[in-house]
Structure 1
């Protein structure tokens, strides 16, 4: 692109790539700055050991806790962002998630608009990501004005049996909506996709769905290895330039409109580093605050007399306790299958002395589940910066809901014929559902963004990634981020891309 762009999008994850797809055909000259490169197709991409034991795809960086303890975060820096390794679950927030709701650990605030406002764009996002699903099974399913564009990914035989076992317990197991072409995925290797990097067309992620659409527009270009450091604002409050490092060279780029989509943690860090270290978009003192990341655990339901020979497994969810079931009948959360584990994954989390044959037996006889409950916004749960370093002060909330959900499902699994049920919580190394940090709202004194994701303090700055989410709900956030990205793109087009 020889002329200066009209719009710069920082990041090519779900938010950045999808708003680019929504802006395709608008006539605007758009540059997408992505700090990573395209993920190469190598043998490690289908290796359990490389991914889960050796950490081959994890970033070469460390973040810190407030006490100085360092850890390697589960952020992935490739074209497509974290979605390159996501589970491709395309769940909508439930309609109640947009309202104020009491939880065991406190109150989840209302969104600045209801579910019905976002519903049409949910349907558009499902078509963009070629969602495969089935309506009518889940008692918490919100209204859909459009059907899923493709039939559901089929249950494998063992999972069909599990579905029947859970129904016999009085539960309502429902089909997970997924962005996976199962034949194409298995054609690249007979592995799960959950946690495995997508190097082909089998999984619809930010690169293979949204970015592929966006880059068909000759006015949209992608620049890789472009690590954005700070934004520069003028005296009038408008963002004047983006400062970034491209293959070791410091550069400055000017655009009329800036869309920050680096992910909830990195977008907040960029804003906090900007303004000569004083921060930008932070008149409310809310940038970096209200960090949420879901409370999650893995649960293995083991029947030592029945093998689980599933390859991918991840086609079921249970939402019977999503809106109720806890103390005083308060909400607990979502239950869904994990991708099929093997002994290498167990080895990465087991004591060193655990014998291999025991891990093989356990993995071969387990049905592997993912418990997910809502993490509530808390101003003291926050992302901070120290120079270029990122400091995470994650104040988990609502943990009673996670233990309550585990107890409920442990009883159901045992009653269904799985006498051994083990669980282990996920820790801060896996901030894959990161949200909050630059929340949208109706009041500039208490929020960073307006309901269109525009910064209250800077008329030409938008933040479109998980950071805008006012609540985490208890479902995977990807589809909600994509739906809002398409909504914001339509708004920008209708308003003539005005800032």
Structure 2
């Protein structure tokens, strides 16, 4: 990607977008054809293609790409968050699962521990934008196997990525056990990915070698227009309010150790569910866009576990593995009870990856375990709770995540264990992911119809400030139980269309 050049365009943009992740990059792609002068401010730099990008020991054992910052939890204990600061944001490391929320996820759903609030619009409102997002991100998928699949107005742009032979056999075993495995919609050019190196893509960084992420799709589409500029190494510190107290004039940011100011008619925060909330809270005594006192609240992070199905009599020689998911327990528990969640294959978990969590176990033993294991990811909805929140801790960040719906997640893992054993896997191991893994953080600046309950309207405009938008995972009023990237992208395209029609 060429280095951006300074110009009058960069000094006086029409739109400032803070962050180049899934929300910001896709919004820029949607706005670019309008001709508006757009500057994207990204605190990170572009990932370089070095040997570490496909080195499991570097990534998982040494934490080569993890940030150096420390946040505190609700008890005041410090921890290292797993958020990434690069061009493209967290999508550079994601599993590239680009799945739609189910239609029911837009309505209130009764879970064992509470009822979700639903969305301010239904699935049909977002459906055309899902289709556009699937085309932008060149999604590979197949319709017909998933009983929970919502209505599609068009087929997936590309055919599903095929199972490797070991996964085809696993899919058949699970079908015989009464499950309905369905191909995952994925944003991966499998030939390009494997040409760079024979590794999984899940949790491996994409250096423009086959993953369809915020940089390679959304940002690339935006930067094809001369009216869009990307400025890297730019850390936004706060928003600047206009004298009338109603409009946001611009942003203050640091670059190369110096403080700068940039102003624009429209300001869009797309820094992620934690950092967008932090910027709003840090920018004034009561927080910007916070008359509802809801900024930073309702933080959600999926309840997730890794589940390893082990059969010493079979060998798993798959490389990437992550090709199908299971939604048999998504709408209910299989017996008419509350919903439990989604199951999908993880990227192949090798002995080198297992060693990161099991440091006392020799790697050769973990290699044997991996050779006979199939790796699954169980994911359950986290319910919005106003006391689960992001706040300021001096100059730092405090994340007090109050996990909810955990009993349902344990029930999902138990259901999966039972079906895996029925499918002939005598050993099933499970381990929950903790707060160091950002399992789809969302909800801190949510959309809604009532300004007293939500900082943003259904088009992600701040109720308090007509020229301020927040377009990233913050906007999600519910976490559902599937990967949120495509939903964020679809809403970003919907918001871009609204802005282009009404504000530019």
The TM-score normalised by the length of structure 1 is 0.98
Deviation at 1:403, TM superposition (A): 0.5
More divergent stretch after superposition (61-70 vs 474-483):
61-70
228-237 vs 90-99, greater mean Cα deviation:
228-237
Quote the residue 2:94 is aligned against. Answer: 86
* Residues 284 and 327 of structure 1, relative CA distance in 2, 3 Å threshold: farther
Deviations 1:64-107 (A, max 9, x none): 01322111101000000000000000000000000000001211
Q: Secondary structure in 2 aligned to 1:24?
A: helix
1:206 aligns with 2:219: no
- For residue 421 of structure 1, report the CA deviation from its aligned partner: 0.2
Of 415, 420, 428, the residue aligned with 1:413 is: 420
Which stretch of structure 1 is more off in the superposition, 375-384 or 57-66? 57-66
Q: What's the secondary structure of 1:36's corresponding residue?
A: coil
Matching of residues 92-171 of structure 1 within 5 Å: 92-171=100-179
Once the two structures are TM-superposed, the CA of residue 60 in structure 1 deviates from its matched residue by 1.1
Matched residue count: 495
2:302–2:439 CA contact under 8 A, matched in 1: no
C-alpha displacement at 1:370, in angstroms?
0.2
Asked whether the equivalents of residues 295 and 399 of structure 1 are also in contact (C-alpha less than 8 Å), the reply is yes
Q: Which residue in the other structure is 1:443 paired with?
A: 450
- The aligned residue for residue 40 of structure 1 is 48
Q: Distance in 1 between matches of 2:208 and 2:500?
A: 31
The whole-number CA distance in structure 2 between the counterparts of 1:257 and 1:227 is: 18
Decide whether aligned partners of structure 1 residues 209 and 92 sit closer, same or farther in structure 2, where only a CA change above 3 A counts: same
Across the aligned residues of Structure 1 and Structure 2, the Cα RMSD in angstroms comes to: 1.0
Residue aligning to 1:274: 283
Q: Who is 1:338 aligned against?
A: 346
Shift of 1:355: 2.7
Q: Which residue of 1 aligns with 2:355?
A: 347
TM-score for both structures, normalised by structure 2: 0.97
Work out the CA distance in 1 between the residues paired with 2:211 and 2:187. Answer: 6
| Deviation at residue 494 of structure 1 after TM alignment | 1.5
Q: Please say if residues 304 and 439 of structure 2, whose CA atoms lie closer than 8 Å, have aligned partners that are also in contact.
A: no
Detail structure 1 runs of 4+ shifted over 4 Å in the superposition.
Answer: none
What is the rounded CA distance, in whole Å, between the counterparts of 2:228 and 2:15 in structure 1?
9
Kindly indicate whether the alpha-carbon contact (under 8 Å) linking 1:308 and 1:364 is maintained by their aligned counterparts in 2. yes
Q: Deviations over 1:312-354 (max 9, x none)?
A: 00001000000111786110000000000111221111152x2
Question: What is the correspondence of 1:18-417 to structure 2 with a 5 Å cutoff?
Answer: 18-234=26-242, 235-275=244-284, 277-325=285-333, 329-352=337-360, 354-417=361-424
Q: Classify 1:307/1:32 alpha carbon distance in 2 versus 1 (closer, same or farther; 3 Å).
A: same
Q: CA deviation at 1:496?
A: 4.3
Is there any run of 5+ residues in structure 1 with no aligned partner, and where?
Answer: none
Using the alignment, how far apart are the partners of 1:138 and 1:68 within structure 2? 43
Structure 1 residue aligned with 2:13: 5
SS of equivalent to 1:489: helix
